[in-house]
Amino acid sequence: MTQDNRSGRPQGRPPEGDVRVSRVEASLRGPFLLFFVSAVIWLLVASVLGVIAALGLGSSVGVLRECSWFTPGRVAAAQQDLFVYGWGFNAFFALNLWLLSQLGRFEFRNGWLAQLGGVAWNLALTYGVARVFAGEMSGYRLLDFPREVGPVLAVAFLLAGFWPIVAFARRPTGHTFASQWFVVGASFAFPLVYLLAQLLVLWQPASGVVQAVAHSWFVANLLQLWFGASALAAIYYFLPKVLERTLTGYYLAPVAFWTFFLFAGWTGPAALVGSPVPLWLQSTGVVAAAMMIIPAIIIAINVHGTLSTQGGWGRAWNDTTLRFVSFGAVAFTLAGVLGGVFAFRAPSAVARFTSFATGLEQLLVYGCATMVVFGASYFVLPRLTGTLWPSAKLVHAHFWATALGFLLALVAWLVGGWQTGQLLANPAVAYADVLRAESSWFFLLTVSSVLLLVGHVAFALNAFGMILKAPAPASRHD
Amino acid sequence: MKNLNTLLAGVFLAVALPFGALVLSGQSQLGGLGRAAGEEGGALFPAREPGLAIQGRAVYVSLGCVSCHTQQVRPAGQGSDLARGLGARPSVARDYALQPQVLLGERRLGPDLANYGARSSQINVETLLTDPASSGAVWHPSYRFVDAAQRTALVAYLKSLRQDYPSPEAKLKK
């Protein structure tokens, strides 16, 4: 362990005094920073809405309750949309582009196109969220925006998020790495999934409950094939990179990739067990969710196998990037295994309609993907800006607030959700008593939302401080 | 894994196959559902929605009610919906065949509303929106800003929600 490690300084920064940035990274600076800064701003807004939503669950928040913009349904929809499309997409636009440019030595000559896409994406998102607050939403979670927003987001995605595929196509060597497969898969799958879902849910709605089937298919694909695949790409990159080791059982990675993509798309109807949709659809979803344990185990062999040898866990704990990335890797394994086990009919009958499903979803979206993005930022930003993170204390505050905040929420969602489900399953328990039991977890969720906000503010202060004090790009080119 | 075309073709199939098998097959199986009589010579159900109920659905969606209320009754063995009296029978796909926008819901922070219109003791929605505490729903948010016309439409919509008729797929117990 170096002196820098002991002082809590984030690793993965350029050597002291060396502010030279590679030509590849210099070409990425503009689009990367646009995506990254947008992502962090949306994260902060979503975090504030998260606190409002949590407060609204358990108590009356006077003024806000009298304001039509802040009905619990609108706040929840806006918060989710901002977190997913604002934070999640912008962050992975930046990270996926950086990853594939690094791995493919791709010099980005058309950065303005990506920036144009980023601006269009964020403007469409702002418009969509404003409409949600005004009550003009679709009623379908994560497809809440009025339908005219969808095509704009799709075009903006093609401008902003398609470049990793170009970087893959133009790589100078024949060799490829697992991170590249996952990013190419995520970048190609999302626009397809989004456009098909828009078509059958909003533009030409399918008949009756088929809308719910299409919606469940969309949500599963969005979460797994964008958030899951993008996060896995980063895990597969940063783990061997920072540990300077090859991954255990890396020859299994292609199996992990194909099984992940093969099964993920079928898991949607697992969320409809017991609903008025054909049983064969429900069963297909359950089987696919159970099959997702296969890629989860293979990825666990690759990732946890590597971390479990030669003091990997200790090194991961002492490295800021790996601390976050390992957290995300553990969350991914848990999400895969729990998602498979609790998709079956018996546990699903208990957990349905409770916060349990939220817990499983957030295990992937926050516990895995968001924590991985945080870790990656500590590695990438110093390289792109040529400066150090301003405050080690803020780094620690960021990790502990987000890790503790997330774990508290996870306990409330999973344990609270399961307890509520068991009470609901017992018809002798009055509905008022079920609600009373469920509301006892709201306090924990409120504390968690405040902790997450604190962590995100610490991250934003550090990141923005770093970007603002970075030297002008011209002085850093080779 | 080195060929971009192979990779893209594989990912395309990974997206297209489930879409075709789950969504398009579902549409081909359920797309033709319409009104039907549960018994020979009986009345056709589900009933067509009154115009005011259609306006009420827009209010329901606009307020975000779907984030806390479900509209589905699960069969016996999948939860206690029937034992709790949420409906006289499980919901079936035909119940939603005429609905332009199906709002099954994913969370049950409030009671299920699939059979709100069929309940004998209905909570007063007007009071629920303006003064939830006095209506007994202590956790329900206040929606005092909803104007009278919207409240009337919302009540009409909620009263139109009922699955207490026999369906070819789910008979009522005698």
Q: Examine residue B97 and state whether it is found in any structural domain, yes or no.
A: yes
B168 close contact with A: CB closer than 8 A? no
Tell which residue, B111, B112, B102, has the closest CA to residue A139. Answer: B102
Q: Measure CB to CB from residue B11 to each of A261, A272, A285 and give the nearest one.
A: A261
Domain housing B148: 45-160
Q: Examine residue B89 and state whether it is found in any structural domain, yes or no.
A: yes
Q: Quick check: A208 and B99 CB within 8 A?
A: yes
Burial class of residue B28 in the structure, from the number of CB atoms within 10 Å of its CB (0-12 exposed, 13-18 middle, 19+ buried): exposed
Tell which residue, A355, A342, A335, has the closest CA to residue A411. Answer: A355
Q: Taking residues A325-349, what's their average pLDDT?
A: 97
pLDDT of residue A477: 43
Q: Quick check: B68 and A68 CB within 8 A?
A: no
Burial class of residue A66 in the structure, from the number of CB atoms within 10 Å of its CB (0-12 exposed, 13-18 middle, 19+ buried): middle
Helix residue spans in B39-166 (DSSP H): 51-63, 125-130, 148-160
- Look at A210 and A63; give whichever has higher pLDDT: A210
Least confident of A48-57, A436-445, B15-24: A48-57
> Residue A474 pLDDT more than 60?
no
The DSSP line for A401-429 is: HHHHHHHHHHHIIIIIHHHHHHHHH-TTS
> Residue B168 pLDDT more than 80?
yes
Q: Examine residue B37 and state whether it is found in any structural domain, yes or no.
A: no
Q: Which of B2, B6, B19, B28 to probe the A interface (max A CBs under 10 A)?
A: B19
Q: Global pTM?
A: 0.94
Angle at A4 between CA A396 and CA A30, to 5 degrees: 70
Which tens digits make up the pLDDT trace of B42-77? 889 999 999 999 999 999 999 999 999 999 999 999
pLDDT of residue A10: 43
Domains and CATH numbers, chain A: 18-476 (1.20.210.10)
B99 close contact with A: CB closer than 8 A? yes
The DSSP line for A203-257 is: ISPPSTTHHHHHHHHHHHHIIIIIIIHHHHHHHHHHHHHHHTSPPTTGGGHHHHH
Q: How many residues does chain B have?
A: 174
A401 close contact with B: CB closer than 8 A? no
Q: Taking residues A161-169, what's their average pLDDT?
A: 94
Angle at B45 between CA B41 and CA B47, to 5 degrees: 130
Which tens digits make up the pLDDT trace of B12-23? 999 999 999 999
Which tens digits make up the pLDDT trace of A4-52? 444 444 444 444 444 446 788 888 999 999 999 999 999 999 999 999 9
pLDDT band at A150 (very low <50, low <70, confident <90, very high): very high
Per the listing, tokens 């068991």 go with A422
Q: Examine residue B93 and state whether it is found in any structural domain, yes or no.
A: yes
Q: Percentage helix, strand, coil, to 5, in chain B? A: 40, 5, 55
Sign of CA dihedral A290, B68, B112, B44: negative
3-state secondary structure of A270: helix
Q: Taking residues A92-97, what's their average pLDDT?
A: 97
Q: Measure CB to CB from residue B79 to each of A66, A174, A424 and give the nearest one.
A: A424
Q: Examine residue B87 and state whether it is found in any structural domain, yes or no.
A: yes
Q: Quick check: A205 and B101 CB within 8 A?
A: yes
- The token pair at A181 is 């497969």
pLDDT band at B40 (very low <50, low <70, confident <90, very high): confident
Q: Examine residue B171 and state whether it is found in any structural domain, yes or no.
A: no
User: With pLDDT > 90 as the criterion, what percentage of chain A qualifies?
Assistant: 83
User: With pLDDT > 90 as the criterion, what percentage of chain B qualifies?
Assistant: 72
Q: Taking residues A153-157, what's their average pLDDT?
A: 97
Nearest CA in chain A to B74: A274
B97 close contact with A: CB closer than 8 A? yes
Q: Measure CB to CB from residue A209 to each of B7, B102, B111 and give the nearest one.
A: B102
pLDDT of residue A476: 45
Q: Taking residues A200-213, what's their average pLDDT?
A: 95
Residues of B in contact with A181 (CB under 8 A): 1, 7
Nearest chain A CA: its distance from B40 CA (Å):
23
Helix A89-104, helix A178-197: angle, nearest 10: 140
Which tens digits make up the pLDDT trace of B105-142? 999 999 999 999 998 776 788 888 888 878 777 778 88
A433 close contact with B: CB closer than 8 A? no
Residues with Cβ within 8 Å of residue B97, at least 6 apart in sequence = A207, A208, B30, B33, B34, B35, B46
> Residue B150 pLDDT more than 60?
yes
Q: Taking residues A101-122, what's their average pLDDT?
A: 93
Q: Quick check: B11 and A184 CB within 8 A?
A: yes
Least confident of A212-226, A453-467, B141-155: B141-155
Residues of A in contact with B12 (CB under 8 A): 188, 192
> Residue A332 pLDDT more than 70?
yes
Which tens digits make up the pLDDT trace of A373-405? 999 999 999 999 989 999 999 999 999 999 999
Residues 127-166 of B with CB under 8 A from A: 139, 141-146
Q: Taking residues A64-93, what's their average pLDDT?
A: 91
What is the per-residue burial (b if ≥16 Cβ within 10 Å, else e) of A114-149? bbbbbebbbebbeebbebbbebebbbbbbbbbeeeb
Residue B81 belongs to domain with CATH number: 1.10.760.10
Nearest CA in chain B to A201: B101
Q: Examine residue B85 and state whether it is found in any structural domain, yes or no.
A: yes
Nearest CA in chain A to B103: A139
pLDDT of residue A22: 78
Which tens digits make up the pLDDT trace of A245-262? 999 999 999 999 999 999
Number of independent structural domains in chain B: 1
B36 close contact with A: CB closer than 8 A? no
Mean pLDDT over the full length of chain A: 92
A232 close contact with B: CB closer than 8 A? no
Residues with Cβ within 8 Å of residue A13, at least 6 apart in sequence = A382, A383, A388, A389
According to DSSP, the β-strands at B36-37 and B44-45 are antiparallel
Q: Taking residues A155-164, what's their average pLDDT?
A: 96
Nearest CA in chain B to A358: B107
> Residue A168 pLDDT more than 80?
yes
Residues with Cβ within 8 Å of residue A17, at least 6 apart in sequence = none
Nearest CA in chain B to A141: B67
> Residue A63 pLDDT more than 60?
no
Per the listing, tokens 């007994």 go with B136
Q: Examine residue B64 and state whether it is found in any structural domain, yes or no.
A: yes
